[in-house]
């Protein structure tokens, strides 16, 4: 195992990895920006290093600063979490050059799978079906390729993900404009203008397969996850197993995921994503070369700690898991809690958390990266926490998650909690009739005011602010203090202090 691990991330995923370090007795190091100097992840680690200004490019995306931080504290391994630099081949290569273990696949594998055209070729070579389409080599061939693929079609960026650089085209008259918009967004988001054109699969389900692969040629899959409930091409509710996947399809799609992983020479944890059409046919989509946001639901139904497995694999240890002994027990569903307002087209809604009471109870897990009296910054992804419910059946898991979300109290700004409860209560969701267009199809015609939990009155906010006023940490000039300054007494530490 690593002698000391630096977590190159923030929020709930940093807290998740830091807790795994504590369980494995691995000394841990957090990094933080000026916006996160008193954030839970910075307080939880054994050590914390300031990276710089709040903007991600000056902190969590600065490869040089992160490598310097690891070398300064003597960390011999880095876990990238998800987002930020987690799928950066350049970052993985920089770790290797510095003699630091990158907890993830090799730089070459990340580069090969990060390019969607290259990943498609690998899938085809492995005998895995792909959506008909190809790379757009020049503006001149756009119309010809569109005729070959047929309408409706999808234009998407070769690099990146998260729905950026993606446009659906149903009318040939809209083709050129949609292409220019998608390419402009791809350049702005990923600095890469390369684009793909693919046939649009109508009302698909988004199914992904969790894989683990070691450095000794052993690769297994840990079932599938249904990730069809999305807004703006980004997931908000995931479940495991999928209500659309039976034992036969699970074996076929899992074997396809392993075939892609082997073709790419993959090691560590990864996720192979597919589209499942209404006929039950699946098509390779892409590979996420990192730990997924929704990994807890796989952990809940398999009993396998994915972060522990990542660290074992990174240390060169062989997998001790056998495919025929991996069993899915019960059903797990995850809801991502975002600081965003569904009634305002999911606009981010950062601000001060005046009151926070996260849910508890049997079968409920909350992976959180926030606390009361904390200012949620505007600079990063607005995810606050993930609420995961496990139960013996899907019906019971839905009821348990709905109860947990009803118990979730957060005062200070709008969240998507009310929207997710509407999804869970919808008859189509309860019947397992899902697609990536579920929210558009079933909820856009609802009164959008229903989607946001009612904001507290001025009096309520004033009371909450008064109750949490002494929790704000600032210096005499109003500037945030460093972690060292925040830890004024043992009572304020979130780590290993005990009363004796």
Quote the CA–CA distance of 305 and 20 in Å, as a whole number.
9
What's the full length of the chain, in residues? 500
* Active-site residue, from 167, 290, 312, 421: 290
| Greatest C-alpha distance within the chain | 76
First to last CA, the chain: 31
Question: How would you classify residue 411: left for phi > 0, otherwise alpha for psi between -120 and 50, otherwise beta?
Answer: beta
Quote the CA–CA distance of 42 and 11 in Å, as a whole number.
9
Quote the CA–CA distance of 120 and 101 in Å, as a whole number.
28
Q: Produce one character per residue of 486-500: b if its CB has 16 or more CB atoms within 10 Å, e if not.
A: bbeeeeeeeeeeeee
**Annotation says 329 is catalytic:** no
Least Cα distance to 331 among 249, 386, 387, 392 occurs for: 392
Q: Are 403 and 348 in contact (CB under 8 A)?
A: no
Alpha-carbon distances of 379 from 235, 290, 348, 349, rounded to whole Å: 20, 22, 10, 11
In which element (H, E) is residue 384 found?
strand 383-391
Which phi and psi angles does 257 have, rounded to 5°?
A: -65, -45
Whose structure tokens read 């840990």? Answer: 222
Q: Are 385 and 369 in contact (CB under 8 A)?
A: yes
**Angle formed by the axes of helices 295-302 and 306-314, nearest 10°:** 100
Whose structure tokens read 């993830």? Answer: 104
Quote the CA–CA distance of 387 and 228 in Å, as a whole number.
17
Quote the CA–CA distance of 62 and 97 in Å, as a whole number.
16
347-348 and 375-376 beta bridge pairing = unpaired
Quote the CA–CA distance of 428 and 113 in Å, as a whole number.
35
Residue 49: partners with Cβ closer than 8 Å, 6 or more residues away: 6, 29, 30, 31, 32, 69, 72, 73
Quote the CA–CA distance of 281 and 378 in Å, as a whole number.
41
Q: Show which residues are catalytic.
A: 290
């Amino acid at each position: 195992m690593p002698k000391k691990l630096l977590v190159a991330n923030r929020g709930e995923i940093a807290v998740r990895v830091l807790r795994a370090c504590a369980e494995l007795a691995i000394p841990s190091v957090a990094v933080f920006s000026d916006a996160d100097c008193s954030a839970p992840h910075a307080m939880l680690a054994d050590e914390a290093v300031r990276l710089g200004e709040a903007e991600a490019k000056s902190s969590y995306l600065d490869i040089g600063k992160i490598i310097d931080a690891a070398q300064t504290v003597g960390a011999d391994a880095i876990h990238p979490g998800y987002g930020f630099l987690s799928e950066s081949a350049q970052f993985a290569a920089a770790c290797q050059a510095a003699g630091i273990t990158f907890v993830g696949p090799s730089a070459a594998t990340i580069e090969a799978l990060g390019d969607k055209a290259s990943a498609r070729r690998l899938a085809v070579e492995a005998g895995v079906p792909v959506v008909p389409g190809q790379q757009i080599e020049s503006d001149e061939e756009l119309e010809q390729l569109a005729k070959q693929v047929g309408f409706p079609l999808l234009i998407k960026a070769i690099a990146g993900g998260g729905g950026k650089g993606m446009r659906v085209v149903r009318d040939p008259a809209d083709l050129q404009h949609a292409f220019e918009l998608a390419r402009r967004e791809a350049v702005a988001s990923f600095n890469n203008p390369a684009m793909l054109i693919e046939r649009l699969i109508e009302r698909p389900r988004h199914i992904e397969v969790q894989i683990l692969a070691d450095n000794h040629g052993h690769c297994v899959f840990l079932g599938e996850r249904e990730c069809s409930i999305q807004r703006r091409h980004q997931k908000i509710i995931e479940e495991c197993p999928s209500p659309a996947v039976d034992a036969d399809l699970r074996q076929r799609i899992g074997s396809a995921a392993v075939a892609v992983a082997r073709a790419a020479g993959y090691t560590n944890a990864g996720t192979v994503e597919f589209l499942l059409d209404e006929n039950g046919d699946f098509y390779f989509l892409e590979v996420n070369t990192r730990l997924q946001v929704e990994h807890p639901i796989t952990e809940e139904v398999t009993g396998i700690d994915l972060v522990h497995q990542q660290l074992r694999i990174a240390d060169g240890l062989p997998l001790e898991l056998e495919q025929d002994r991996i069993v899915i027990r019960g059903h797990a569903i995850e809801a991502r809690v975002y600081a965003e307002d569904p009634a305002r087209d999911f606009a981010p809604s950062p601000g001060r958390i005046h009151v926070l009471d996260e849910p508890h109870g049997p079968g409920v897990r909350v992976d959180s990266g926030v606390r009361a009296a904390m200012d949620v910054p505007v600079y990063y992804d607005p995810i606050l926490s993930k609420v995961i419910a496990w139960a013996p059946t899907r019906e019971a898991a839905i009821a348990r998650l709905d109860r947990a979300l009803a118990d979730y109290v957060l005062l200070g700004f709008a969240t998507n909690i009310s929207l997710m409860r509407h999804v869970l209560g919808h008859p189509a969701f309860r019947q397992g009739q899902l697609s990536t267009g579920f929210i558009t199809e079933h909820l856009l015609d609802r009164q959008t005011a229903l989607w946001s939990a009612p904001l507290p009155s001025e009096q309520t906010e004033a009371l909450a602010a008064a109750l949490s006023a002494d929790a704000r940490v600032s210096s005499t000039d109003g500037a945030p203090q460093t972690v060292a300054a925040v830890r004024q007494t043992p009572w304020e530490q979130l780590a290993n202090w005990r009363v004796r």
